Amino acid sequence: MTAPDTLPEAWQSELLASLAPDEQLIAWLELDLDDHLEFRPGLVTLSDRRLIATGANDTPREAWPLTAGLKLTHHDHAGVGTLELEDGQGRLALWRYTLGQSPAALRFEREFVRQRDSVASGQPPLPAVAAICPICQIQLQPDEEDCPNCIRELHTPPSTWTLLRIWRFAKPYQGQLIAGFLLTLAATAATLVPPYLTMPLMDDVLIPYQNGTPIDPDKVAWLLGGLLGSATLAWALNWARTYILALASERIGADLRTTTYEHLLKLSHEYFGGKRTGDLLARIGSETDRINVFLSLHLLDFATDVLMIVMTSVILFSINPWLALVTLTPLPIIAWMIHLVRDKLRTGFEQIDRVWAEVTNVLADTIPGVRVVKAFAQEAREAQRFREANKHNLEVNDRLNRIWSLFAPTVGLLTEVGILVVWAFGIWLVSKDQITVGVLIAFLAYISRFYTRLDSMSRIISVTQKAAAGAKRIFDILDHVSSVPEPANPVTLPPLKGGIAIDKVSFRYGNRAVLHGIDLAIAPGEMIGLVGHSGSGKSTLVNLICRFYDVTEGAIRVEGIDLRSIAIADYRRNIGLVLQEPFLFFGTIAENIAYGKPDATRAEIVAAARAAHAHEFILRQPHGYDSLVGERGQSLSGGERQRISIARALLIDPRILILDEATSAVDTETEFEIQSALNNLIRGRTTIAIAHRLSTLRRADRLVVMERGRIVEIGNHEALMASAGAYWRLYQAQTKQLDAPPVLGENSPSA
C-alpha cells in the first residue's frame, strides 16, 4: 500500500503526470463509492507535500497542500465509511468507501498524520506502527494489508481439496486404513468368484445333461462347494474390513471433533460474540458426523465399487473381449444420465436442508424463551409459526418427491435396457458359436451386479461436495487464530502481589471506539470502585484486565509484565471473576462452586459459600449442596445465582477479585451481609468492584468514575463529594430517590 510501485494501473498514468518532478507518492486509498453513494471508483493519494483526490466525486481532480491545520477524520455508518478533510475553518472534502476499504483507510489516515506532522515540523516522519485487523483485532505484519485469516475465511468457497486436509487426522490410523484397503481388495475378489463358477456349471453340467450326458455328482459338489466357500470367505472378509474401517473412521471423527472443540475453547470472546451458538453446535456436532459417515460409508462403498468394476472388467475381457466391450459401453452413458437426474435432485435436497434449519430455528427460539411466550400468552402465535415452517417444509418436499419418485424406476429401466443389449449381442454370439451359453450367463451375472451399484456411485459427487463443505466449516474454526494470542515465549509469572498498571489504554470493538486513554495504577491490595452510567465502558475495562480482549493501544501490566507476554491460563488463575450475568452449569451446587478448583474439599466449598452468604439458602434446598440446579440455574433466584458465583470466585483464593455488579440482584440487607463477609476476604486482595448502587462501594479505597469511555474522576467518597463533580451528581440522583421514593401510580406532590 505504501510502496508507490504497486499503484493500481488504471490510475497510474493519469496521476503520475500531475506530480511535480521531485514529488514523491507516499500512500493512496482506493475508493469504491462517490459522494452520491453510487458505486464508482476513485482515488485519494498522499504525496510528500499534497493530498490529491482523483475521480472520486464530481470534480475531476483536486489537491490540498499539507499544512499543520489539516485534519483527516474517518467514521462509518451502515457499512459506509467516510473520510473527511477539514481545516480550522470548515470541511474541505469528503470521500466515501465501503467498509472493505476500512483497514486501508485507517492506514491512509495514519500515513497522512505522519506526513503532515513531518511537513509541519520539518523533521522526517516517525516510523510506521503495525496495523490491526479490524475484524479479529490481531496484529498484522508490517507488509500485510489485510488479515490473512479473515480474508481467507471470507473468500474461499469450500473446495473438494479441503477434504484432503483430513489426512492430518487420518494419519495416526494409517495401519488400520491400509489393512482395511487390503481386506477390501480381497473381499471384492471373493465376491467375484460365484459368477465365474456359473460358467462351468452351465457348460459342463447342465447343458451336457440336456444333451443326454448324466450329471457328475462329484463335479457338482465341487462347484457348489466353491460357491459356498467363496460366499463364506467374502462374508468374513467383508465383516473384517467393515469393522476395522468403521473403528478407524469413528476415531478419526472423534479426534476431529475434540480437536475442533479444544481449539474453539481457546478462541477469544470476540470470536464467540460474532457467531451463533446454533451454528457452532452444528459445525462440531453434525458436520463432523457427516464427514465421518462420508469416510466410513460413502468413500468406502465408492472405493469398493471402483475396485469391483476394474476387476470385473479384467475378468470379462479375459473371457471374451468383444462381449466385454459391448457389456461395458453402456455403463458410462447410464452413469452420466443418472448423474444428470441427481444434479437436479441435489438442489432440492439442499433446499430441504435449509428448510429443516428453519423448522429447528423456530424451536430454538421458543423453547429457551418459553417464559416470555407464556407471559404474553403467545402460544397460539408460536404454534402458528411452527405450523408455517412445517408447511414450507412440506411444499419443498412435495416438489422434490415428484422428481424423486421417478428416479428409482428410471434407474431400473436403464438397467434393464443395458442388460437387454447384452442379451441381444450375447445371443447373436452364441448363434455364431463364438461363446458358450455359460459365458453369456456369467456375463449377465456380473453385469447385473454393478448396474445396481451405479446409483450409489453417482451419489458420490454430491456427498463429497457436502462433506467438503462440512470440512471447510470445521477447518475455518481450526485455522482461526485467537485474537488474544498465547505468547510464543511466555514469561513465567512470579507470584502476584496484585498491583495492576493500566497505561494509556484505548480499546475498540471492531470499528467502534469504546475506551479512550485510560490511565490507572492499582496498588496491591487496593479496592477500586468503578462507577459510571450504563454503557460507559466499565465491563469493557474489566474484560481487558482479564484479557478477554487485547487492548487496541497502550498496555496493561502486572508486576511490570505486559499481559500479552504471559501465558493466558497462568494469569487467569489469579483472577476471581463474578460476572454481571451469573452463569451456572447444569450440575449440583457444590460442583458449580468448585468449578474453578475441581479438587476443592467439602470444607473449602462450605467456607466459600458461607463467605458469599450462600450457605443458608443452600441448606434450604432439598439436598443441600448436592441439589441440582437446572440448566442456566433456572431453579434459583437471581440473587441466589449471584451468591453462588461469588462463592465460586472466592474458592479459588484469587489475588485479584473482580466483581461486576456482583450484588445487584440481592436486597440491600443481604448485600450488606455479603459486604461484611467480603471485607475479611478482600483484605490483602486487589478488588475491582463495579456497582450502580453507590452504597455498595462505600469501603472502596478509591472510586473511579467513568463517562463515555474516559476516566473523569478518581478519589475516595469524601473527596469526590467535596469536589461536586460527576460522582456527586450520580450520588445526588440516588439519594434523592431514597429520600422521596417515587410511588407507582401516584404523582409526586406539587408545590
Partner 1 sequence: MKPTASPFTLSRNSFGRLVLSDAAGLAHAGIVPVRAFGITAPDYGISLMSADGKELQWLENLDVLPDDIRSLIVAELAQREFVPVIRRIASVSSYATPSTWQVDTDRGTTALILKSEEDIRRLRGTDNAGALLIADSQGIHFLIRDRLALDAHSQKILKRFL
Ligand X SMILES: Nc1ncnc2c1ncn2[C@@H]1O[C@H](COP(=O)(O)OP(=O)(O)OP(=O)(O)O)[C@@H](O)[C@H]1O
The torsion of the CA quartet 90, 96, 97, 98, rounded to 10 degrees, works out to: 110
Q: Choose which of 62, 84, 289, 673 interacts with partner 1 (CB under 8 A).
A: 84
Residue-wise DSSP of 449-504: HHHHHHHHHHTHHHHHHHHHHHHHHHHHHHHPPPSSPPPSSPBPPPPP---EEEEE
Q: Which amino acid is at 683?
A: R
Q: Which three cell numbers stand for residue 665?
A: 440482584
Residues shown for the chain: 751
DSSP state of 566: B
351 scored as a contact of partner 1 (CB under 8 A): yes
Q: Return the residues of window 11-50 that contact partner 1 according to CB under 8 A.
A: 32, 36-40
Side-chain-side CA neighbours of 731 within 13 Å: the count stands at 20
Q: Choose which of 458, 539, 592, 687 interacts with Mg ion (CB under 5 A).
A: 539
Q: Choose which of 78, 265, 738, 751 interacts with partner 1 (CB under 8 A).
A: 78
Local structure of 51: helix, strand or coil? strand
Q: Name the segment binding partner 1 (CB under 8 A); options: 7-15, 87-95, 451-459, 600-608.
A: 87-95
CB of 159 to partner 1, least distance (A): 9
Q: Choose which of 109, 117, 144, 350 interacts with partner 1 (CB under 8 A).
A: 350
Q: Return the residues of window 506-565 that contact ligand X according to CB under 6 A.
A: 509, 512, 514, 532, 534-540
CB of 465 to partner 1, least distance (A): 8
Q: Which amino acid is at 138?
A: I
Q: Name the segment binding Mg ion (CB under 5 A); options: 29-37, 64-72, 400-408, 531-539.
A: 531-539
**Chosen from ligand X, partner 1, Mg ion, none, partner binding at 708 (C-beta under 5 to 8 Å by type):** partner 1
In terms of phi and psi (left: phi > 0; alpha: psi -120 to 50; beta: otherwise), the region of 144 is beta
**Chosen from partner 1, ligand X, Mg ion, none, partner binding at 745 (C-beta under 5 to 8 Å by type):** none
Rounded-to-integer distance, Cα 606 and Cα 742, Å: 40
Q: Name the segment binding partner 1 (CB under 8 A); options: 86-94, 421-429, 575-583, 629-637.
A: 86-94
Q: Choose which of 155, 371, 432, 620 interacts with partner 1 (CB under 8 A).
A: 155
**Chosen from Mg ion, ligand X, partner 1, none, partner binding at 98 (C-beta under 5 to 8 Å by type):** partner 1
**Chosen from partner 1, Mg ion, ligand X, none, partner binding at 675 (C-beta under 5 to 8 Å by type):** none
580 scored as a contact of ligand X (CB under 6 A): yes
Q: Please identify, using beta-carbon distances, which residue of 99 and 231 lies nearer to partner 1.
A: 99
Element (H, E) at 361: helix 330-366
157 scored as a contact of partner 1 (CB under 8 A): yes
154 scored as a contact of partner 1 (CB under 8 A): yes
**Number of residues engaging partner 1 in binding (CB under 8 A):** 35
Q: CA-CA distances (angstroms) from residue 416 to 309, 337, 413, 444, 745?
A: 18, 14, 5, 11, 84
DSSP state of 139: B
Closest CA to 160 of 448, 461, 383: 461
Residue-wise DSSP of 100-136: GGHHHHHHHHHHHHHHHHHHHHSSPPPPP---B-TTT
DSSP state of 242: H
Rounded-to-integer distance, Cα 599 and Cα 506, Å: 39
CB of 471 to ligand X, least distance (A): 29
CB of 273 to ligand X, least distance (A): 5
Q: Which amino acid is at 486?
A: E
Q: Return the residues of window 424-483 that contact partner 1 according to CB under 8 A.
A: 465, 469, 472
98 scored as a contact of partner 1 (CB under 8 A): yes
**Chosen from partner 1, ligand X, Mg ion, none, partner binding at 509 (C-beta under 5 to 8 Å by type):** ligand X
Contact between residue 642 and residue 629 where contact means Cβ atoms under 8 Å apart: no
Q: Please identify, using beta-carbon distances, which residue of 248 and 280 lies nearer to partner 1.
A: 280
Q: Return the residues of window 286-315 that contact partner 1 according to CB under 8 A.
A: none
Contact between residue 419 and residue 451 where contact means Cβ atoms under 8 Å apart: yes
Closest CA to 316 of 205, 167, 446: 446
Q: Which three cell numbers stand for residue 706?
A: 467513568
Q: Please identify, using beta-carbon distances, which residue of 275 and 449 lies nearer to partner 1.
A: 275
Q: Which three cell numbers stand for residue 530?
A: 468503578
Q: Please identify, using beta-carbon distances, which residue of 418 and 537 lies nearer to ligand X.
A: 537
Q: Name the segment binding partner 1 (CB under 8 A); options: 17-25, 73-81, 125-133, 223-231.
A: 73-81
Contact between residue 714 and residue 522 where contact means Cβ atoms under 8 Å apart: no
* Residues at the interface with Mg ion (CB under 5 A): 539
* Residues at the interface with ligand X (CB under 6 A): 273, 509, 512, 514, 532, 534-540, 580
* Residues at the interface with partner 1 (CB under 8 A): 32, 36-40, 77-80, 84, 86, 89-91, 94, 98-100, 153-158, 276, 279, 347, 350-351, 354, 465, 469, 472, 708
